[in-house]
Structure formats: C-alpha cells, structure tokens
Amino acid sequence: MTLAAPVIPAGIGHPLVARLISDLRWPLLADEAALAAFAARPGAHCVFLPGADRPNPETPDVAVILPELAQAFQGAFDCAVAGPAAEAAAKLAVEVHKTPNLAFWRDGAVVGCLPRVRDWSDYMAAIPRLLAAATAL
C-alpha cells in the first residue's frame, strides 16, 4: 500500500513550508479546532506559524531550521504547520502576531513562542525553558 501525498492548499506559502507537510508528513492544521486538538494531545508541541496572511522573507529560513531543531531535541516535541485559520487562532493564543513564529504548547496550554529567525544558540537556550514551562504565558 502506498500513501497518497497530502494535499497542500493554495496559500500555504513558500515551497519549503509545503515540504514540511508533503515530505516530513507534519500535520497541516486547517482551523482553530485542529489547532486545539493538536495542542491538547499529551506532551509538548511546536506549531509553525509561517505568516500566511503576510509573507515574510524569514519564513523559508525557519522552515529549514525547525526540522533541525526537532532532530536536535530528539523527539521532545512534535511539530505541525498552521494553515491560515489555525494561524490566526494561534496568534491570539500566544499573544504574539509576528511571523514566522514557533509557538509551543504543553498538554493544551500555551507555554511560549519564538518569533522570527534566531541564532542557533538562542533556540538551544530558549527551547529547553519552553519545554520545562508548566503553564501559559
């Protein structure tokens, strides 16, 4: 049995963002309900907010960095990509509207976010703090 490639909706943005869905098989969160269901699962989760409403030149960079971060943290969190409606809901939840953004949840609660491109050392310092956080902002 072969798996069909996921359908990438128009407006998802840069091909490097689409690659996260098509090649890495990360979930595409279509709406607020999908975001809530993904975030409510046990454990830590990172939702990539690529900036669907306003393309940003940093989005492709973060689309390349995030899989490397997921690998560096060896499964400490799972990842998904927010579609436009889910992204709008996530921005309200994390109270940060800058994109691209890596928004982190644990067991349904927002624990923080990392907007824009950062130095690798900044990610390596901030993500453990986010993963250790117990509750929302």
86-128 pLDDT, tens per residue?
999 999 999 999 999 999 999 999 999 999 999 999 999 999 9
Please check whether residue 68 lies inside any domain of the structure.
Answer: yes
Q: What pLDDT is attached to residue 4?
A: 53
Give the CATH number of the domain where residue 41 resides: 3.40.30.10
Q: What is the dihedral of CA 117, 122, 124, 126, to 10 degrees?
A: -100
What is the arithmetic mean of pLDDT over 50-61?
Answer: 89
Query: pLDDT (tens digit, 9 = 90+) per residue, 30-52?
Result: 999 999 999 999 999 999 999 98
Q: 72 in a domain, yes or no?
A: yes
**What is the domain extent for residue 74?**
31-132
How many structural domains is the chain composed of?
1
Contact 47/103 with Cβ under 8 angstroms? yes
Asked if the structure places residue 55 within a domain, the reply is: yes
Whether this prediction's pTM lies above 0.85 is answered by yes
